[in-house]
Structure 1
Amino acid sequence: MSSSWPYPRWIAHRGAGKFAPENTLAAFRLGAAHGYRMFECDAKLSADGVLFLMHDTTLERTTSGRGTGGDQPWHALSLLDAGSWHSRAYAGEPLASLGNLARYCLRNGYFLNIEIKPTPGLEAQTGTAVAHAAARLWEGAAVPPLLTSFQPEALEAAQAAQPQLPRGLLLDSLWKGWLETGLTLDCTALVCNHALWDSSSVLQAKSAGFRCLSYTVNDEWAVQRLLDLGTDGIITDRIDLFAPGS
């Protein structure tokens, strides 16, 4: 694992947290307008193999569609309204493909954390697809995206497909073997629910060579605690509250 870490500390969750419809280009533009230079997004596969941005398995919460997003072709998904659920100001905002977001980030010098968010049962296929797409889209770029997932199978597939891309294991609990799994997957980072970090877990992670990132951190007291612990990255919804530095 490389000791170099090119990413900013502050990462805008799903683009602009909750201030614009998540995972849409409108959200990333709003995050950028607040000074953020790195974003987190969720990527999954359409039925015809296009990577698109969406957190949920199903379409109902954040679009005008119904059913499982991964069961539909990209053409159908691209016609959905992914903004009206949030507010009238964003009515008609479309879903974004990973390619759309990659071009936006590369043209503007922004950094990206791509969470591999597979439709259940497509963990390996999605990990492979995200890794190949990231390698192609960011070919020649100084800083590639950081690929993360809660699913070790997805990260394993990404590792096999494009081993040179940096990876991070997402953790919502410190389950048995968490540190060893991160090492086996040759991850550069562990991305934890922020409450999981304490002096012991940070020491274990850093001693093993990992960077320590946290989600989703929306309170000043939590930020201060994580800074005091010496962690490396903070994923937040509160783009209005925290002014990001480098």
Structure 2
Amino acid sequence: MTTPWPYPFWIAHRGAGKLAPENTLAAFRLGAQYGYRMFECDAKLSADGVPFLLHDATLERTTNGHGTGGDLPLGALAQLDAGSWHSRAWAGEAVPTLEALARFCIANGYFLNIEIKPTPGHEEHTGRVVAQTAARLWQGHAVPPLLSSFKPDALAGAQATAEHLPRALLLDTLWDGWATVAQQLGCVAIVCNHALWDAAQVAQVKALGMHTLSYTVNDEWAAQRLIDLGTDGIITDRVDLFCPAR
């Protein structure tokens, strides 16, 4: 039996896709201005164990910093410029903590998909700390965040720490044994590269009692194909193209 699904169909990738610097509070505010009520973000740990938002292991692409993000303490990360790389309009945007984003979402009634994106070698520990942090911040709230990861060890850490938080396995390929692993991890959803979904794959996942989500869908034809397949959610960069009212 499929678990209840409280989340919106449309999910804004890293806040507002490519319209603002990803994983900054400015991006989530912009996504909200386009009507989105659910966001996806990437969370990893600082050197002093605080969950913060960054997609890459390294800092160069999306900040003016250098090296591995997880090697810096939060105080050093807070000094970085995470907006100038995108455009001058966003110069000076900070690297936010997961707690800062959580407070924004909770205050406004928004939903969140936290992708656990560990610094390599810190998978299980990152899963534990992110789950512990999310459980604390959303305590008493009806709809907790969805925790997802490509790394089963990260999801195992989350499961061991806060089993009540919903989990999803991310897949970029259909590797052998993925379904068994997802069941062992108690996942409520599979989040696939959108090209992997077909009718048989959707039916298999739903027969396992899980929901079907897709990343990163930026074309109308691709979105319509997934809607026709009966999938449960779409993560998109194109917050300016897709109306999230569905």
Separation of aligned partners in 2, 1:184 and 1:51: 25
Structure 2 counterpart of 1:189, one-letter code: A
> Gaps spanning 5+ residues in structure 2: where?
none
Within-5 A mapping of 1:71-220: 71-220=71-220
Which residue does 1:39 correspond to in 2?
Answer: 39
Question: What is the CA distance between 1:178 and its match in structure 2?
Answer: 1.0
Separation of aligned partners in 1, 2:163 and 2:99: 21
Question: What is the CA distance between 1:161 and its match in structure 2?
Answer: 0.5
Which residue does 2:6 correspond to in 1?
Answer: 6
Moved over 4 A (4+): none
Separation of aligned partners in 1, 2:40 and 2:2: 21
Structure 1 counterpart of 2:132, one-letter code: H
| 2:218–2:237 Cα contact (<8 Å) kept | yes
Alpha-carbon displacement from aligned partner over 1:136-173 (angstroms, at most 9, x marks no partner): 00000110000000000000110010000000000001
Calculate percent identity across the aligned residue pairs. Answer: 70
Alpha-carbon displacement from aligned partner over 1:12-71 (angstroms, at most 9, x marks no partner): 000000000000000000000000000000000000011100000000000010000000
Structure 2 counterpart of 1:145, one-letter code: P
Question: What is the CA distance between 1:245 and its match in structure 2?
Answer: 1.6
Which residue does 2:229 correspond to in 1?
Answer: 229
> Gaps spanning 5+ residues in structure 1: where?
none
Question: What is the CA distance between 1:2 and its match in structure 2?
Answer: 5.6
Structure 2 counterpart of 1:227, one-letter code: I
Which residue does 2:56 correspond to in 1?
Answer: 56
Separation of aligned partners in 2, 1:204 and 1:24: 36
Separation of aligned partners in 1, 2:30 and 2:207: 37
Alpha-carbon displacement from aligned partner over 1:90-144 (angstroms, at most 9, x marks no partner): 0001011000000000000000000000000000110000100000000001100
Structure 1 counterpart of 2:90, one-letter code: Y
Instruction: Give aligned pairs, total.
Output: 246
Q: Report the TM-score, using the length of structure 1 for normalisation.
A: 0.99
Structure 2 counterpart of 1:43, one-letter code: A
Separation of aligned partners in 2, 1:48 and 1:235: 31
Structure 2 counterpart of 1:67, one-letter code: G
Separation of aligned partners in 2, 1:106 and 1:203: 34
Match of 2:240, SS? coil
Match of 2:192, SS? strand
Q: Report the TM-score, using the length of structure 2 for normalisation.
A: 0.99
Separation of aligned partners in 2, 1:146 and 1:17: 19
